[in-house]
Amino acid sequence: MAFPSDLAIAQAATPASLHDLAAGMGIGPHLLEPYGNDVMKIRLEAIEELADRPRAKYVVVSAVTPTPLGEGKTTTTVGLGQAMSHIGRTATVAIRQPSMGPTFGIKGGAAGGGYSQVIPMETLNLHLTGDFHAVTAAHNLLSAVLDNHLFQGNDAGIDPHDITWRRVMDVNDRVLRNVIIGLGSRMDGIPRQTGFDITAASEVMAIFALAGSLREMRERFARIVVGYTGDGKPVTAEDIGGAGAMTVIMKEALKPNLLQTLENTPVLVHAGPFGNIAHGNSSVVADLIGIHGGDFLITEAGFGADMGAERFFNIKCRASGLTPDAAVVVATVRALKAHSGMHRVVAGKPLPEAMLAENPDEVHIGGANLRKQIENIRLHGVSPVVAINAFPGDHPSEHAAIAEIAASMGARSAVCTHFADGGSGAVELARAVAEAADEPSDFAFLYPDSASLREKIETVATKVYGADGVDYDMSAARQLDAYERNGFGHLPVCIAKTHLSISSDAALKGAPTGWRLPVREVRASVGAGFIYPICGDMRTMPGLGAHPAAHRIDIDADGNVVNLS
């Protein structure tokens, strides 16, 4: 009998009362705002009201460097949350909201999978409570205010050739990457070249995820740099009068969304910043609520530990003041075989036949990547646990190989079957995580605020990525100097690079050495509070493939969503 689709499993689920789940977290009905029957927003007053409750153990779920197919990190996060109830503990899960661009593209939804997913699955993947649309509206309002400022005389003296603020949409649409606006009559505005990014890449989204209060969000919006004057001085959203109205648009969106897993574990779904040019983590306000909601708060960081986890530690934890007690590194047989360098995995295509054959030696070769990602967790003083996410084509000897690699690094590990078995399939992982979280934490940031921007970049490049050093293009060097002069040197760095390698070259697998990080450009997300060096060609507006999910997703005769994966 065929395994049911994620959508079929989700539609057959029996949800619990969200009021009851919230009550178990200490959240009273006066703090809840229903959105239909299966979703609620939580008022920000919950942060203060819950402050006297015990603090949960804080666990971040990361991974080895993923293949283009993904390794089931969200599924593992959900499965681990569900498994806690099987060992007599309570948990809250906190994850990002999926972007509809990838949902209608190749990647599909991001609600977990199998019997470890968040429900209602359709609502989560399609609009939810409209938070992404609020980000889109707030971002584009600032774009309109900026172009109107130019049209009305440009009192701020913005150099039209040095404008850094673009527009956004929550779709994959490559033709919008570069556009010319203002064509037509004189009354249609000042013509200039600009473009669109996907909403998940918006600085508004990054701010939304990092702000701990409405007031802080307003202050961060004010600091957004939209461009520069002729003599290189930054011009902000506050300077052109856009920050206040943006905050008004985002006021309701800042309230986290309460959903649940298939096994009725509470889930906070909030924000969705990109994981390659932004910090790739769910919201601080969700964590400030969830940290008092039970025994464990389990959250997820985007991509591998060299990216999402490093940013979780050095950007998100700086903003929230919360410190992690343990970290999970999700590893799969197929990912480590891919990191052996002997196979090529392509999104949307079946795995190569040779990759499915039993070969623990290949797993050991690719295990260099797992060893480095465990090391990257330990660099921050956090105890790692390896979650061996089992797939149907795996062999026991290959799972044993991953466990041997973890043991050689002094890390706990557990084989997980949560996709097929739900929480019961991650019980051993839950026990290992609980043990790791009970160990004394020695968490530390990778670098101090006082370090220069170059020192921060070079620290991440050499210690986390394993590079021999950093090479800066002349333009990147000038940009770094300008940011230091403008007072941005205290900010952390968020290095934009490929997620398919620990290095900046997607073709380099495992744990590459003997290479240098090339920084071609450096941008400033001053409102979000980080500087992001760009290494390689980063796409901030994806395109659709030849056969995107948008071709399949539809409704049936009864009005039910079909073919949403």
Instruction: Please identify, among 438, 466, 501, the residue that sits at the C-terminal boundary of a domain.
Output: 438
Using H for helix, E for strand and C for coil, what is the string for 457-506? HHHHHHHHCCCCCEEECHHHHHHHHHHHHCCCCCCCECCECCCCCCCCCC
Q: Are residues 81 and 139 in the same domain?
A: no
pLDDT score of 561? 85
pLDDT score of 554? 85
In a domain, 346, yes or no: yes
We report the CATH number of the domain holding residue 180 as 3.30.1510.10
Average pLDDT over residues 454-458: 98
3-state secondary structure of 185: coil
Q: Are residues 384 and 407 in the same domain?
A: yes
User: At residue 108, does pLDDT exceed 70?
Assistant: no
Q: Are residues 374 and 240 in the same domain?
A: no
User: At residue 490, does pLDDT exceed 90?
Assistant: yes
Q: pLDDT band for 536, please (50, 70, 90 cuts).
A: confident
pLDDT score of 544? 85
In a domain, 213, yes or no: yes
What's the pLDDT tens digit per position in 422-452?
999 999 999 999 999 999 889 999 999 999 9
Instruction: Please identify, among 438, 470, 497, the residue that sits at the C-terminal boundary of a domain.
Output: 438
3-state secondary structure of 116: strand
pLDDT score of 107? 60
pLDDT score of 88? 98
| Phi and psi angles of residue 176, each rounded to the nearest 5 degrees, phi first | -95, 0
pLDDT score of 247? 98
Instruction: Please identify, among 395, 414, 438, the residue that sits at the C-terminal boundary of a domain.
Output: 438
Q: Are residues 272 and 415 in the same domain?
A: yes
| Phi and psi angles of residue 202, each rounded to the nearest 5 degrees, phi first | -70, 140
Average pLDDT over residues 114-133: 94
**Domain span including residue 420:** 6-129+253-438
In a domain, 553, yes or no: no
Please tell me the total count of domains within the chain: 3
In a domain, 1, yes or no: no
Higher pLDDT, 365 or 548: 365
Tell the burial category of 189 from Cβ atoms under 10 Å away from its Cβ (0-12, 13-18, 19+).
middle
User: At residue 262, does pLDDT exceed 70?
Assistant: yes
What's the pLDDT tens digit per position in 345-403?
877 678 888 888 999 999 999 999 999 999 999 999 999 999 999 998 899 999 999 99
Q: Are residues 422 and 410 in the same domain?
A: yes
What's the pLDDT tens digit per position in 33-86?
999 989 999 999 999 999 999 999 999 999 999 988 788 999 999 999 999 999
Q: Are residues 228 and 272 in the same domain?
A: no
User: At residue 520, does pLDDT exceed 70?
Assistant: yes
Q: Are residues 125 and 135 in the same domain?
A: no
| 8 A C-beta contact, residue 118 and residue 563 | no
Q: Are residues 142 and 278 in the same domain?
A: no
pLDDT score of 445? 98
Q: How many residues does the chain have?
A: 565
Tell the burial category of 148 from Cβ atoms under 10 Å away from its Cβ (0-12, 13-18, 19+).
middle
pLDDT score of 1? 63
Owner of token pair 């795996």 = 394
Q: Give Cα separations from 267 to 38, 124, 334 (angstroms).
A: 12, 11, 29
Max mean pLDDT among 108-112, 122-126, 351-355, 543-547 falls in 122-126
